[in-house]
Structure 1
């Protein structure tokens, strides 16, 4: 099943073989030890970092709780009346469902699923790119999509991908998708990457957003034993990426409609103010903001904490206290 689909969920495996997820998880662990597949949260994928992209049905069942929490938190960074671009993906689809509650919003997207999630929102204008439909992820790609983005300028781009590393940034397994994502990035003043912890440290074929262009990463808290993800988060912070860590109930307050752009925006602003903006007690530099990007909605100090509290001790839905390490 993994070879046929690129990825599979434990729930689906248990249903097909008519056994418990506990049994399936044990067998998947044994197959990983033999090098036949790689485990991911809630499922398994083909071994190696440069795997082919799995289809939407498979991806939609992986890390669903994490994607929901990430979308809740990310929606709080969007202000009433903004214009944003939202790329294709299962996590951005979750984000779109929450953006439907932000009045006066304009969303530019190449994703049919994002557009569908916003189709019945009363005060949200949806602008779709042109292009050729790519059925595996219901996205418009190709030269038509890229040309329709020329001359466009919005405040933020929200993107997801197949992998994220500090060395290479965001990447995906499909060349056409990567090309459109790069065009979406060119249209935005800030770039917000939505990626659950299973994508941290994974690298795929086509780079979409280099690390020095990423303004903020919204992710979930990796398990304490996931050293690769934790190391990658610190490395991203060292390069100036602002890290926002989502958890259960994150961003569950009202979205948009006020100063700071909703609950997450207001929260990050308060945190930034309480921790200080001057680089901390030893004058160490803060992680961000990115070059040539305006400050995020919480004010100049928003999401720029430097007290370096271990990630495992962070409260869910708060901006992580990741500071650059001293060289």
Structure 2
């Protein structure tokens, strides 16, 4: 394929999807990511698209929302790994809310194995994934169907969530930055997501690395409300995504990164941390981990012990064992705040 043909196909993919990762572009045009990056740089110079961290988006700063068929094929392996880890955070008998999205749909497929679980959702796809789970109760919100992502939105959905209280909310979105938190491109979806957050004691965001550093129009989960982020390891050349993760950790968000080949305990980790508890991260029996505050409560940064006070490099510490953690899928690690 000639360069002109490649670039035309890249441009068509970005226009159709709103945002596409370099990995996906390279797969479709059947060339290396280095070549695709060069093509994207040339198209950006012509003002036809904008480069983003590990991908390309429509020009103008804010990406528009892709349709479900397009999103379901983007970063599918990463979403599967994220869902595997997130499912390990849920215990028998819990009540949780699960928002709409392709990553949360993957999570729902795994939650079907958790007995005694109650799942509140506005997503038809999440409900469908749990429809034949005999030991899981599914509660649907009301609302108006939004066909592009098979979700119920509007005042009916928001009113049905009033007075609800559950242990955790699992949400995804279109973009995630340390400055604004999680965001989405649709106003109605954002409003329902905010109502889901208000119903939960803890907020877990599921976002693959292609969303890190991407900003979209409507904020759904501010950074100080996020309890935990479950994401995948960004490519080595994606410095911005790594910087964004560290900035989120510095603001008190617990970062769980899937697919790490090696991760040793951080300095100062309590002895035996992550060793024999076997419980989900963040529960009262998980020693050596910060307490998870309620939504809206800003977290305090842990202080380091002495020294010059200059921030150190990002510290990765081994995460505790999670139930049903995938085998052979790489280590799971937590990103710790910089020691101060």
Q: TM-score range by the shorter chain?
A: 0.7 to 0.9
Q: 1:264 to 1:172 in 2, by over 3 A?
A: farther
Distance change >3 Å, CA 43–CA 128, structure 1 → 2 = same
Report the alpha carbon displacement of residue 148 of structure 1 after superposing the two structures with TM: 0.6
Residue equivalent to 1:20? 30
TM-score by length of 1: 0.77
How many angstroms does 1:324 deviate by? 3.3
Task: Report the counterpart of residue 95 of structure 1 in structure 2.
Answer: 107
Alignment counterpart, residue 226 of structure 1, candidates 230, 238, 251? 238
8 Å CA contact 1:241–1:289 kept in 2: the answer is: no
Could you list the structure 1 runs, at least 4 aligned residues long, displaced by more than 3 angstroms after superposition.
7-16, 21-30, 32-35, 38-44, 263-269, 291-294, 306-317
> Is the counterpart of residue 322 in structure 1 residue 336 in structure 2?
yes
Cα 1:311–1:120, aligned 2, differ >3 Å: closer, same or farther? farther
* 1:153/1:267 CA distance change after superposition, 3 Å: closer
When residues 152 and 158 of structure 1 are mapped into structure 2, their CA distance, relative to the original with a 3 A threshold, is same
Distance 1:14 1:107, change over 3 A: same
Question: Within 5 A, what are the aligned runs for 1:1-327?
Answer: 1=12, 2-7=14-19, 20-22=30-32, 27-38=39-50, 44-247=56-259, 265-266=279-280, 273=287, 276=288, 289-291=292-294, 310=314, 316-326=330-340
Partners of 1:95 and 1:83 in 2: CA distance: 15
User: Gaps (5+ residues) in structure 2?
Assistant: 1-11, 262-273, 306-311, 320-329
Q: Does the aligned pair in 1 maintain the 2:171–2:206 contact within 8 Å? A: yes
What is the distance in 2 between the residues matched to 1:292 and 1:142? 22
For residues 79 and 278 of structure 2, the distance between their equivalents in structure 1, rounded to whole angstroms, comes to 16
Aligned equivalents of 2:153, 2:198: Cα separation in 1: 16
Q: Would the aligned equivalents of 1:214 and 1:290 in 2 still touch at CA under 8 Å? A: no
**Aligned residues of 2:317 and 2:335 also touching (Cα < 8 A):** no
How far apart, in 1, do the equivalents of 2:24 and 2:239 lie? Answer: 27
Tell me the C-alpha RMSD between the 2 structures: 3.4
Quickly say closer, same or farther: Cα 1:119–1:222, change in 2 above 3 A: same
Structure-2-length-normalised TM-score: 0.74
Task: Report the CA distance between 1:10 and its aligned residue.
Answer: 7.3
Change beyond 3 A, Cα 1:88–1:206: same
Question: Which has the higher Rg, Structure 1 or Structure 2?
Answer: 2
Give yes or no for contact 1:239–1:324 (8 Å, CA) kept in 2.
Answer: no
Does the CA-based 8 Å contact 1:311-1:321 persist in structure 2? yes
1:217 counterpart SS class: strand
Moved more, 79-88 or 201-210: 201-210
Looking at structure 2, the residues matched to 135 and 38 of structure 1 have their Cα atoms a distance apart, in angstroms, of 28
Q: CA deviation at 1:223?
A: 1.6
Paired residues of 1:268 and 1:319 also in contact (CA < 8 A): no
How far apart are residue 32 of structure 1 and its match?
3.8
Q: Any unmatched runs of 5+ in structure 1?
A: 250-259, 278-285, 295-303
Answer yes or no: is the 8 Å Cα contact 2:53–2:213 preserved in 1. Answer: no
CA separation of 1:102 and 1:312: change in aligned 2, threshold 3 A: same
SS in 2 for 1:167: coil
Deviations 1:97-148 (A, max 9, x none): 1111111111100001111111111211111111001111110000000011
Distance in 2, matches of 1:93 and 1:21, equals 30
